[in-house]
Amino acid sequence: MNLTATPNIALDRTYVVGRVEVGAVHKVRKACAQTGGKGVNVSRTVALLGHPTLVTAGQLAPADVRTAEPQVETQLLGKAAARP
């Protein structure tokens, strides 16, 4: 069992636009957020290699917990212990 302590889970936001042109206005076609941070990234890799893993998190804002916890549990097939 791998246990990672992640004091600050990051929410990496990605915005997809069509074509990028200098000086133009760009409309976002798609936006997504994915959990990240050193401990989460290590656990994601460990899970992909087929080993059990547990992610623990330090401080998160309540809105971030609602976003991060389901993603971590789904992606890592483990439990996320996140508390605001």
CA distance 60 to 78: 19
Using the predicted structure, report yes or no on whether residue 81 has a pLDDT greater than 50. no
Please compute the mean of the pLDDT values over residues 26-47 and round it to a whole number: 87
Using the predicted structure, report yes or no on whether residue 22 has a pLDDT greater than 90. yes
First to last CA, the chain: 25
Region class of 41: left (phi > 0), else alpha (psi between -120 and 50), else beta: alpha
Residue 7 identity: P
pLDDT reported for residue 13: 85
Using the predicted structure, report yes or no on whether residue 79 has a pLDDT greater than 50. no
> Which parts of 18-76 are beta strand (E)?
28-36, 53-59
Please compute the mean of the pLDDT values over residues 25-32 and round it to a whole number: 92
Q: What is the mean pLDDT of the chain?
A: 75
Using the predicted structure, report yes or no on whether residue 67 has a pLDDT greater than 60. no
Q: Which two tokens stand for residue 30?
A: 């798609």
Would you kindly state where each structural domain of the chain is located, as residue ranges?
A: 2-83
